[in-house]
Structure 1
Amino acid sequence: MDELIIILKYAFLGALQGFTEPIPISSSGHLVIAQEFLGISVPTNDFSFEVLMNFASLIAVIIVYRKDLIKLTFNGFKYITQREEAHKKDFKFIVYLIVGTLPAGLLGLLLEDWLSEKLKGVTPVGVALLITGLALWLIRNLKGRKSDKNLNFRDAIIVGFAQAIALIPGISRSGATIVAAMGIGMKRDTALRFSFLLYIPVSLGTILLKIDDLAFKELLVPYVVAFTLSLVFSYFSLKWFMGIMERGNIKYFAYYCFVVGLLIIFFF
């Protein structure tokens, strides 16, 4: 019976992380909330869960954007080897993704542990959700004009630093990057694609840095269940979010962040 309860707890955390990772409401913040108020927790020194759930969401993002990744890789390579002008746009897009990855990578190495220690608990998460909600509200009606071919180094750096801000627990990574991208004039579909393609190298880097922490023989079944659910929920959540972005309904996530953030601050 105890083993079943453990499996169910990890299944819930995997599904929660998977569902909240792609949408702009902060997966890390919701895991903190779940662990605090539902009595569901993982060991504080157990990075295996974090690494695996991150890997599951990464796989889901790669599956959804597989055509874009293949196109960028193929055209980028052709531009490097053949200097075909037709593929220059895709090559530059790859460069901008690399540039946009640097701020979160560098600041993550320097500040992630410090931020996690200083801002732990549910109250900072509540405040961060309010900030996320306000940012989403401010860009709710923007449509933008910039497509892939109009991007530049300044755009990549701004979105990259926005991704770094998401190191703060409760600040949504997808929310921060999409807000920044739309704030500097990107079209919704361009902002969404740049945000999630930017997620891939950062997520992969996190996994590689923490892969030595993987050790979960005693929790093999719960972790497999959580990993599977996180992957499935991440995939369908991302597809759902893409539809919402296409319809311009991001304001509903702002409402959600306001409500949850206020509930946490005033009642907990």
Structure 2
Amino acid sequence: MELWVLLKYALLGLLQGFTEPIPISSSGHLVIAKEYFNLETKGLSFEVLMNFASLIAVLIIYRRDLIRLTTNGLSYMTSKNKAAKDDFMFIVYLVIGTIPAAVLGILFGDLIGENLSHYKTVGVTLLITGVALWLIRNLRGGKGDQDLNLKDALIVGFAQAIALIPGISRSGATIVAAMGVGMKQETALRFSFLLFIPVSVGTMVFGIGDILADQRLRLDDLLIPYIVAFLLSLIASYFSLKWFMNIMARGNLIYFAIYCFIAGALVLIF
């Protein structure tokens, strides 16, 4: 196994993990990095594995919210406990918000991946992401977890569906939409990343076939790089999300908008 190949995949894992939680598009950065490193990861097995690593990080960070929502959701369904109704409805809105991306992903996911995974597309969509972040940079909503409604869930859900396009940040799109409908920053962040969980699980389930069919994973020269990339992606996702939660609390999204403007312009120019 060449050391340079291992380093390339390690860098890809770190890059995907670091960029997944923050609003600068992990998929777009992977496209750029693979173009730069001249790395071809045929099929979706690599992306699916890196996505799963980020999912584990999200589950660890939001474990208390997930336990509370699950407990109160079951409590409301079994005993109609009024105190648990808000958490039950939050779960309902998460399910509703998942539907647009799930449907469009099943119908057009392969088409989008084959035709839009190009660095020129990423350059344009990074600029679009930057504009969206710039527009909501000063918004301070008042809606908490208990104030959400069907319309809010659908708007954020469709924003997540748009993020199937490489270069459109999933976290960026959902947070922009969430803050656009008036959610508090904390609620917008929580809804965005809890919404990531069912979509990521679905991606993993539908991607198992790609992983099993990937003959390269049965070869010693790429099995180790994939494992290293997976572990680094998990670690990077964890610390990146923790960092982003602090950024959101201070309301400094403008820096991500500026980064997207610069990155998108550089990609298109060079």
Shorter-chain TM-score bucket reads: over 0.9
2: distance between equivalents of 1:165 and 1:50?
A: 18
Rounded to whole Å, the distance in 1 between the matches of 2:266 and 2:207 is 34
Query: Partner of 1:217 in structure 2?
Result: 218
CA–CA separation in structure 2 for the residues paired with 1:225 and 1:159: 34
Using a 3 Å threshold, how does the CA distance of structure 1 residues 48 and 26 change in structure 2: closer, same or farther?
same
**Residue 188 of structure 1 pairs with residue 185 of structure 2:** yes
% same residue: 66
Other-structure match for 1:16: 15
How far has the Cα of 1:257 moved from its partner?
0.1
Distance 2:224 2:50 in 1: 14
Separation in structure 2 between the aligned mates of residue 156 and residue 128 of structure 1, nearest angstrom: 23
Map of 1:208 onto structure 2: 205
Find the counterpart in structure 1 of residue 195 from structure 2: 198
CA distance in 2, matches of 1:54, 1:18: 8
Instruction: Pick from 228, 236, 254 the counterpart of residue 257 of structure 2.
Output: 254
2:166 corresponds, among 162, 169, 176, to: 169
CA distance in 1, matches of 2:78, 2:148: 23
Moved over 6 A (4+): none
Q: CA deviation at 1:38?
A: 2.9
Q: Aligned residue for 1:32?
A: 31
Cα deviation for residue 201 of structure 1 reads 0.1
Deviates more, 1:219-228 or 1:195-204: 219-228
- SS of the equivalent of 2:2 reads helix
Shift of 1:250: 0.6
The one-letter amino acid paired with 2:42 is T
CA drift of 1:156 comes to: 0.3
Q: Which residue of 2 aligns with 1:44?
A: 42
Question: For residue 92 of structure 2, what is the amino acid of its counterpart?
Answer: V
Distance 2:231 2:58 in 1: 14
Q: Hey, what's the Cα distance between the residues in 2 that align with 1:78 and 1:25?
A: 38
Unaligned 5+ runs, structure 2: none
Q: Does 1:128 align with 2:137?
A: no
- TM-score normalised by structure 1 residue count: 0.96
Does 2:248 correspond to 1:245?
yes
SS for the counterpart of 2:167 is coil
In the alignment of these two chains, the number of paired residues is 264
Deviation at 1:226, TM superposition (A): 0.5
User: Unaligned stretches of 5+ in structure 1?
Assistant: none
SS of the equivalent of 2:139 reads coil
Provide the rounded CA distance (Å) in 1 between the counterparts of 2:101 and 2:193.
14
Deviation per CA, 1:201-252: give whole Å up to 9, x if none: 0000010011122141212211110000000000000000000000000100
Q: What's the TM-score, normalizing by structure 2?
A: 0.96
Q: CA deviation at 1:42?
A: 3.4
More off after superposition, 93-102 vs 48-57: 48-57
Mapping of 1:81-160 within 5 angstroms?
Answer: 81-160=78-157
1:121 Cα shift?
Answer: 1.5
1:233 to 231, 236, 243: 236
In 2: Cα distance, 1:93 partner to 1:42 partner: 40
